[in-house]
């Protein structure tokens, strides 16, 4: 292995003449050397830069080299330490190796002896770096609270790593239960704001007339019930991260107040007259397609551009392959411990069903299913007969599955319902799902509808409508049923949201063509 040519050394040696001599030896090896005579000076240097090697005399005028070694181990564990010792302190030198020093050299030594130790230390550093780089390049199965080693999740982990230290606003999209809150927390904990607060605010669950005070706080007497001054989420998140969950549900009036806050960090409490300024990083999330909300006039375009700086898309569980079983196994272990049960694994048939199910409620639904099975059964293995009915009855929508309503899962996806949203109009798509159903070999709605049409043709000769129109009606019925939530409708139809958007574009064209023909 090649030793790198230039490396840095902090040499701590109280004798000026020996310091000069060792500096000369080290320079002949290609080192850039900084020489200090006192322990305190060494610690000051270490606060501003970390050398590749620390060559450290055990006996120093102001402190023991052993104390410095301990501090370096605790604060700068990547620094390789070589101890210099006199005959009388060999025991200490041996002790220092137990505490993490790489090697020790006994005084007096010549250039050759120092060269061998230095080269060995550099080789070891290179090996450690090589292994660390290799480990980083392997797929991760665990990352900051996430479980999953699918390619789709590796992309998410890499994006989080890249954006964690930035102050740029991150915008997480994904179906319900895909882990958007886990993602927001991961961004916070992976970045340099990790020691400051992470404040989450669910814009959908706070009553409209309270949300402004929840975000900005209020002064005493600002409204009935405001019996004291109260800090809002903005103040509490100072220095840290403010997570705006379900941000597309934010009231339009509040959106304009929020815009100014995002631009300047300045806000006023409800009922207050004084302006306050905070430093927060914004992370937002929604299970809607934000650009559609902008087009429909429900989300301000200027706010969208402020918040949607770094988009992160969380993949649906059904496109995450083996992650289903990784998660299932993790939840099984967790709920076993909680419930005092003895389940160890799943039968291969149960695994097949779990793997094949389309998980409209994503990880949250999987979590609920595993908990339910653990609570209701006692055995050492999860078998098919313990699986909930909806999993056993659910096949991937086949040629018979033409009515979206018949595909409604009983799973825990009700959180999205009842939002009072009306059916969406045919807003033009700009968002493309990276994990489209077609790429993952999911059944194609066009094909299913085509089969239905064939059946219809065989049994009826009246009321035949164009194939694309029939498909459009089916998809629109599903969207309406889901109160305008396209990702949820797509999940029920077992296609990707991007397929719906593509189709909407082509319907517009078909409608135009139809109008052209009739006029
Ligand atoms: N990759 C994952 N690994 C482990 N647990 C996960 C993962 N993704 C989600 N979860 C778990 O699933 C549950 C739902 O996650 P979370 O609340 O973050 O989803 P969400 O996308 O924010 O959902 P919603 O849009 O409904 O608010 C949580 O209990 C979370 O811990």
CB atoms within 10 A of CB 211: 22
332 vs 486: CA distance, rounded Å: 32
**Tens of pLDDT, residues 371-429:** 999 999 999 999 999 999 889 877 544 333 322 222 222 233 333 333 333 333 332 22
Q: Answer yes or no: same fold for 7-136 and 142-313.
A: yes
Q: Identify the band that residue 153 occupies on the pLDDT scale cut at 50, 70 and 90.
A: very high
93 vs 99: CA distance, rounded Å: 10
- Whole-number pLDDT of residue 461: 45
Q: Identify the band that residue 5 occupies on the pLDDT scale cut at 50, 70 and 90.
A: low
CA of 337 to the centre of ligand 1 (A): 20
367 lines ligand 1 (CB under 6 A): yes
Q: Identify the band that residue 123 occupies on the pLDDT scale cut at 50, 70 and 90.
A: very high
H/E stretch holding 431 reads none
- Whole-number pLDDT of residue 256: 87
Tokens of 387: 């699986």
- Whole-number pLDDT of residue 500: 79
β pairing state of 275-277 and 266-268: antiparallel
CA of 201 to the centre of ligand 1 (A): 16
In the chain, where are the structural domains located?
A: 7-136, 142-313, 322-393, 404-409+444-518
- Whole-number pLDDT of residue 491: 73
Q: Identify the band that residue 449 occupies on the pLDDT scale cut at 50, 70 and 90.
A: very low
Nearest CA to ligand 1 atom 12: 364
147 lines ligand 1 (CB under 6 A): yes
Place of tokens 């997570």: 243
CA of 98 to the centre of ligand 1 (A): 44
CA of 195 to the centre of ligand 1 (A): 23
39 vs 41: CA distance, rounded Å: 5
Tokens of 136: 């980083």
pTM over 0.80: no
User: Phi and psi for 267 in degrees, rounded to 5?
Assistant: -150, 170
CATH number of 142-313: 3.40.50.300
- Whole-number pLDDT of residue 465: 66
214 vs 270: CA distance, rounded Å: 9
Of 92 and 313, which is predicted with more confidence? 313
The preferred substitution site among 179, 335, 361 for testing ligand 1, maximizing ligand atoms within 8 Å of CB, is 179
Domain 7-136 annotated CATH 3.20.20.60: no
- Atom index in ligand 1 nearest the CA of residue 184 equals 18
State mean pLDDT over 352-364: 94
180 lines ligand 1 (CB under 6 A): yes
- E-strand spans in 119-203? 142-143, 146-147, 170-173, 198-202
Tokens of 290: 């934000």
- Whole-number pLDDT of residue 227: 86
Q: Which fold has domain 322-393?
A: Helicase, Ruva Protein; domain 3 (1.10.8)
CA of 361 to the centre of ligand 1 (A): 10
State mean pLDDT over 15-38: 94
Nearest CA to ligand 1 atom 25: 176
Asked whether the CA dihedral 465, 469, 470, 473 is positive or negative, the reply is negative
Q: Is 339 helix (H, G, I), strand (E, B) or coil?
A: helix
Tally: H helices and E strands in the chain: 20, 16
């Amino acid at each position: 292995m090649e030793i790198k040519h230039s490396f840095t050394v902090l040499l701590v040696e109280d004798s000026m003449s020996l310091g000069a001599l060792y500096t000369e030896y080290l320079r002949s090896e290609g080192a850039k050397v900084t020489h200090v005579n006192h322990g305190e000076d060494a610690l000051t240097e270490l606060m501003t830069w970390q050398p590749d090697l620390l060559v450290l005399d055990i006996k120093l005028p102001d402190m023991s080299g052993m104390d410095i070694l301990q501090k370096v181990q605790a604060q700068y564990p990547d620094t390789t330490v070589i101890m210099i010792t006199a005959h009388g302190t060999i025991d200490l030198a041996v002790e220092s190796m137990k505490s993490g020093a790489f090697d020790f050299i006994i005084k007096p030594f010549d250039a050759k002896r120092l060269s061998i130790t230095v080269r060995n230390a550099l080789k070891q550093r290179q090996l450690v770096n090589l292994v660390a780089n290799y480990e980083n390049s392997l797929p991760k199965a665990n990352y900051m609270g996430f479980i999953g080693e699918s390619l789709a999740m590796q992309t998410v982990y890499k994006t989080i790593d890249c954006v964690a230290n930035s102050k740029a606003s991150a915008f997480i999209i994904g179906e319900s239960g895909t882990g958007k809150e886990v993602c927001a927390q991961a961004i916070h904990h992976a970045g340099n704001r990790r020691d400051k607060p992470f404040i989450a605010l669910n814009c959908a669950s706070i009553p409209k007339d309270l949300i402004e005070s929840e975000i900005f706080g209020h002064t005493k007497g600002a409204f009935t019930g405001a019996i004291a001054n109260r800090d809002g989420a903005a103040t509490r998140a100072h220095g840290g991260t403010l997570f705006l969950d379900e941000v597309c549900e934010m009231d339009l009036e509040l959106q304009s107040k929020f815009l100014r806050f995002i631009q300047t960090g300045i806000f006023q409490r409800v009922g207050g007259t004084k302006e306050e300024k905070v430093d927060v990083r914004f992370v937002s999330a929604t299970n809607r397609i934000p650009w559609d909300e902008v087009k429909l006039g429900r989300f301000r375009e200027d706010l969208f551009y402020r918040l949607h700086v770094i988009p992160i898309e969380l993949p649906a569980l059904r496109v995450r392959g083996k992650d289903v079983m990784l998660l299932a196994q993790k939840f099984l272990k967790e709920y076993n411990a909680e419930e005092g049960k003895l389940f160890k694994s799943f039968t291969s048939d149960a695994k097949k069903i779990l793997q094949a199910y389309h998980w409209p409620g994503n990880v949250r639904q999987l979590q609920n299913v595993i908990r339910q099975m653990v609570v209701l059964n006692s055995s050492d293995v999860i078998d098919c007969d313990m699986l909930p009915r909806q999993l056993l009855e659910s096949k991937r929508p086949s040629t018979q599955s033409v009515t979206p309503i018949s595909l409604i899962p009983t799973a825990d996806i009700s959180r999205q319902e009842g939002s009072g949203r009306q059916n969406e109009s045919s807003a033009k798509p700009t968002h493309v799902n990276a994990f489209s159903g077609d790429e993952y070999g999911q059944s194609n709605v066009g094909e299913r509808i085509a089969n239905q049409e064939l059946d219809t043709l065989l049994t009826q000769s009246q009321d035949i409508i164009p194939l694309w129109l029939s498909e459009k009606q089916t998809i629109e019925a599903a969207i309406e049923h889901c109160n305008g939530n396209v990702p949820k409708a797509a999940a029920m139809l077992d296609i990707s949201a991007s397929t719906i958007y593509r189709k909407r574009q082509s319907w517009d064209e078909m409608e135009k063509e139809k109008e052209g023909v009739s006029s």
